[in-house]
Copies of this chain bind each other. A is one copy, B any other.
Amino acid sequence: MKDVSEMYIPTYDDVVAANERIAPYIHRTPVLTSSYLNRLTGAELFFKCENFQKAGAFKVRGASNAVFGLSDEQAARGVATHSSGNHGLSLSYAAGRRGIPCTVVMPRTAPQAKKDAVKGYGGRVVECEPSTSSREAVFAEVVAETGAEFVHPYNDPRVIAGQGTCSRELASQVEGLDAVVAPIGGGGMISGSCLTLSHVAPGVKVYAAEPKQADDAARSFRAGHIIADDAPETVADGLKVPLKELTWHFVRNFVTDILTAEEDEIVAAMKTIWKRMKIVMEPSSAVPLATILKNKDIFAGKRVGVIITGGNVDLDHLPWIKG
């Protein structure tokens, strides 16, 4: 892994530029509240609903910033990534809006619905075996063949600056926030939130929320260096990936704490949000509420932003229904 000193660390100016660049292609998502959940937690919660975002997740912010920041010459060769989740979908959406090629390398074992979704936005899916070595080999072939620009799902300053536009909107939509809680997987959303909030509202504490069964970020945070788990299993399938040097930079320097929740707590929090707030969101997006419910003393009486990161869930297989 590279040292972060070899990488460009995005600044708040990059977030402002990203906001300008991507505004025509994304939604300014609404902030919802629930009097029931406020009573339940003893806090005032403000849910930033990126499940209503284009392509169904916040990831479209970073992907669009990368795509629309390319020179015409770079853009003509297209973009590429490896992702079986929201980043692949988002990059395909953004490339489609710019009218340039996009290739997403996905394991052949990924659900057909996810492959179809990428294709639905005009992207090309190239399959690899479900192993890191196969993915890297296939991806290298794609890049060699097309000259496409690699857009990493999170360890990329363009992507982090794009994700930072979410907390920028939130801070303008809700006055006097005390804290923001967002899920942490690779750390792109958390890094963008730290980047923005440390500039526009430095008193706001940033908490990362992680499944206990994939708590590599929490353990990294306590150890003082990156720890990567080997194939963690969690219902919050967007949060299995490890930190990388750029996101680690933001986590170690700006995050107040990383809180964890058990699988059953995540599923219960997800179902409560569906039932009470009437919104469809992913298991990953329920981890913040699950951790708030376990740590009421931290948040009692506080005004807390909660990032609902995405809404792309398999409606045929909901985690509280045994099939």
Contacts and interface: CB of A to CB of B under 8 A. Distances in A.
B323 A315 contact: no
Contact of A274 (B30, B32, B280, B321): B280
A316 interface: yes
A32 B32 CA distance: 13
Interface in A36-54: 51-52
Contacts of A280: 274-275, 278-280
A162 to B, nearest CB: 20
A56 interface: yes
A281 B274 CA distance: 10
Contacts of A275: 280, 315
A315 B52 contact: no
Which of A275, A318, A323 neighbours the largest number of chain B CB atoms within 10 Å of its CB? A275
Interface string A272-313: 001101111100000000000000000000000000000100
Give this chain's copy count: 2
A320 interface: yes
A244 interface: no
A274 B52 contact: no
9 contacts: A32-B52, A51-B278, A52-B277, A52-B278, A274-B280, A275-B280, A280-B280, A318-B318, A318-B321
A310 to B, nearest CB: 9
Contacts of A281: 278
Interface string A103-141: 000000000000000000000000000000000000000
Which of A32, A280, A316, A323 neighbours the largest number of chain B CB atoms within 10 Å of its CB? A280
Contacts of A82: none
